[in-house]
Amino acid sequence: MKGFLNKQAPYIFIAPTLILLTLFSIVPILVALVISFTDMDLGGLANFNSISFIGFENYVEVLKDPVFMKAIYNTIFYVVIGVPLVILFSLAIALLINLGTSRIFKAFRVVYYLPSVTNIVAVAVVWNYLYNPTLGLFNYLLNLVGLPDVPWLTEPTIAKLSLILLALWKAVGLNMIIFIAALQGIPKSYYEAAQLDGANTWQQVTRITIPMLRFAIFFVSITTMIGWLQFFEEPFVMTQGGPLDGTLSVALFIYQNGFKFNNFGYAAAGSFVLFVCIIAITLVQLKLQKNESDMT
């Protein structure tokens, strides 16, 4: 028995995780695909016999649903505005920290990274208070310098931008660390050679650093984009998708249809539309990256 256990050891090592991953990641994909073609709701949960297959009806319905269209529009808005901002800010901060020679620059790493480890619900609650129209700190500070109030969370477009600002604050740290790690991988001799040729700091950054960071920038843009396509907790805690569905994201739409209205089949169809979009966008990005590296 002991010999048998020993021989099977590698399988026993990987079995628990494989079973859990299969049960909660792989099987659910198939289940989601199946129920997206059914009218499963709360009644179906109690009695499987009441579920019937309805073909592509859910997909047709969801793609006609004006609320879903709104959610897609908002999600694209989040991605288009949010992703470039995240890359720009995390890269700029990483460059400044990396060029710094004093020890204090190491402390900045912690300061900018802190929001990334904190709880999203707590953070959303705090920012909700900062954004409060009458008691919030932000409007008070704006008034202090003579600027008018901003309707942070009450005007649909500004509300989207407010959520982006919060998410940006939270996302910069992790990506900054990735950029710093990549920056430290660039050989010092490149800079020394450029200095001998009389290149100034700006030239060194634009001609050496940025091109050398191409892979890191690509990595960050793909992971950030996938993350923003799944934007969920910020609108869930702060606005519940309001005002007038102005901050509703696709992920929140799926959650609300699944767990608030119990339309499991309908929500699953929506989630597959999101999944296909994520895969398509990732593949396009991979292709673009490949073309670019072929060219150089």
Partner 1 sequence: MSTAMEGKKKDSRKQSSGAAFQWLSGIVLTIGGLFFLLPFFWMITSSFKPEGEIVQIPPTFWPESFTMHNFTYLFNNMKFDVYFKNTLIIVLFSYIGLLLNALAGFGFAKYDFKGRNALFVLVLATMMIPSQVTMIPVYLILNSLGLTNTMTGIVLPGLVGAFAIFLFRQFMSTIPTELLEATRLDGASEYRIFAQIVLPITKPILAVQAILTFIGGWNSFLWPLIIANDESLYTLSVGLSLLKGQYAANFGLQMAGATFMVVPVILLFTYFQKHIIENFSISGMK
Q: How far is the CB of 112 from partner 1 (least distance, A)?
A: 6
Chain residues 236-275 in contact with partner 1, contact rule CB under 8 A: 236-237, 250-251, 254-255, 258-259, 264, 267-268, 271-272, 274-275
Q: How far is the CB of 259 from partner 1 (least distance, A)?
A: 6
Query: Of 111, 193, 244, 280, which one interacts with partner 1 (CB under 8 A)?
Result: 111
**Helix (H), strand (E) at residue 274:** helix 264-295
Query: Of 72, 153, 180, 248, which one interacts with partner 1 (CB under 8 A)?
Result: 180
Chain residues 58-77 in contact with partner 1, contact rule CB under 8 A: none
d(CA 230, CA 282) in angstroms, rounded, equals 13
Residue number, 246 or 270, with CB nearest to partner 1 = 270
Residue number, 90 or 295, with CB nearest to partner 1 = 90
213 within 8 A of 226, measured Cβ to Cβ: no
Q: How far is the CB of 270 from partner 1 (least distance, A)?
A: 8
d(CA 284, CA 278) in angstroms, rounded, equals 10
d(CA 79, CA 77) in angstroms, rounded, equals 5
Chain residues 122-141 in contact with partner 1, contact rule CB under 8 A: 122-123, 125-130, 132, 134-135, 137, 140
DSSP assignment, residue 148? Answer: P
Chain residues 12-41 in contact with partner 1, contact rule CB under 8 A: 13-14, 16-18, 20-21, 23-29, 31-32, 35
87 within 8 A of 220, measured Cβ to Cβ: yes
Chain residues 197-236 in contact with partner 1, contact rule CB under 8 A: 201, 216, 226, 229-230, 232-233, 236
156 within 8 A of 228, measured Cβ to Cβ: no
The 3-state DSSP class for residue 53 equals strand
Q: Residue length, the chain?
A: 296
d(CA 235, CA 54) in angstroms, rounded, equals 32
Q: Does 196 bind partner 1 (CB under 8 A)?
A: no
